[in-house]
A = this chain, B = another copy of it.
């Protein structure tokens, strides 16, 4: 038996998230079907975490055990030939049997994209939320800083979260503001990318943070309110959950050493 680590990129618009659901039509379902077509094996793949319906992934790792003799360098093209065009395997490598894509994930980065121009862009509309009102991006940057560190993020978690602990660590969070993309005049506000890197994220956590930050940008809340919201440990203290289409799993990093990292097991179980 071999253990293969693969990286998948997908446009989540048409899917009910990464992980298999009773209703079907998930990215995992399509990947497992493609592997079965290729090798004849019924397999269960293990993603780095879940993603909600409509969320995208630039690079999402998963691992799978296989008895297939197909050489590693053949898998990528063979699977892509059996997958829909909005799901692409971008890398395949063999890893030790002890490797686990979810348990050993050390750092995860998400990106949320807001189009703050007057007019939505038809070409990127599936990957960004249109928010044409005036936004104070510097206030949003200031508000975001209050969330960096190790905190109880209950205020920014779905009420349906079943986790015993809502303590997570956000290592870094920053905003990239692209004001060049506008083609229709100088009064445009451009594209705002909000990045967050952490040990793991609770259900809806990035989207609730973004929904609250947008209120800061609109002047409805002050940047320092983010600190007060954290301390409240109450979902009602935060703002609305931003639309899933703006969210993209950007990157997942593993330890070079590859130790078991059992402390990561619980915290990475349920993801955005």
Q: Within 8 Å CB of A134, what residues of B?
A: none
Q: Within 8 Å CB of A56, what residues of B?
A: 123
Q: Within 8 Å CB of A86, what residues of B?
A: 122, 125
How many copies the complex holds: the figure is 2
* CB within 8 Å for A183 and B85 given contacts A11-B122, A127-B123: no
Q: Within 8 Å CB of A10, what residues of B?
A: 122
CB-nearest residue of chain B to A120: B88
Q: Within 8 Å CB of A124, what residues of B?
A: 123
Q: How far is the CA of A59 from the CA of B59 in the complex (A)?
A: 32
Q: Within 8 Å CB of A87, what residues of B?
A: 122
Residues of A70-97 contacting chain B, CB below 8 A: 76, 80, 85-88, 90-91
Within the complex, the shortest CB–CB distance from A18 to chain B, in Å, comes to 14
Q: Within 8 Å CB of A183, what residues of B?
A: 58-59
- Could you tell me how many residues of chain A have their Cβ less than 8 Å away from some Cβ of chain B? 24
Task: Find out whether the CB atom of B122 lies under 8 angstroms from the CB atom of A91.
Answer: no
1/0 per residue, CB under 8 A from B, across A196-227: the answer is 00000000000000000000000000000000
Task: Find out whether the CB atom of A85 lies under 8 angstroms from the CB atom of B9.
Answer: no
Within the complex, the shortest CB–CB distance from A182 to chain B, in Å, comes to 11
Q: Which of B85, B91, B121, B125 contacts A120 (CB 8 A)?
A: B85
Q: Within 8 Å CB of A121, what residues of B?
A: 9, 88
Within the complex, the shortest CB–CB distance from A85 to chain B, in Å, comes to 6
Task: Find out whether the CB atom of A122 lies under 8 angstroms from the CB atom of B184.
Answer: no
Q: Within 8 Å CB of A236, what residues of B?
A: none
Q: Which of B11, B80, B91, B184 contacts A123 (CB 8 A)?
A: B11
Q: How far is the CA of A9 from the CA of B9 in the complex (A)?
A: 27
A167 within 8 Å of B (CB atoms): no
Q: Within 8 Å CB of A9, what residues of B?
A: 119, 121-122
Task: Find out whether the CB atom of A119 lies under 8 angstroms from the CB atom of B11.
Answer: no
Task: Find out whether the CB atom of B11 lies under 8 angstroms from the CB atom of A85.
Answer: no
Residues of A164-198 contacting chain B, CB below 8 A: 183-184
Q: Within 8 Å CB of A58, what residues of B?
A: 123, 183
Q: Within 8 Å CB of A123, what residues of B?
A: 11, 56, 58, 124, 127
Q: Within 8 Å CB of A76, what residues of B?
A: 119
Interface residue ranges, A against B (CB under 8 Å): 9-11, 56, 58-59, 76, 80, 85-88, 90-91, 119-125, 127, 183-184
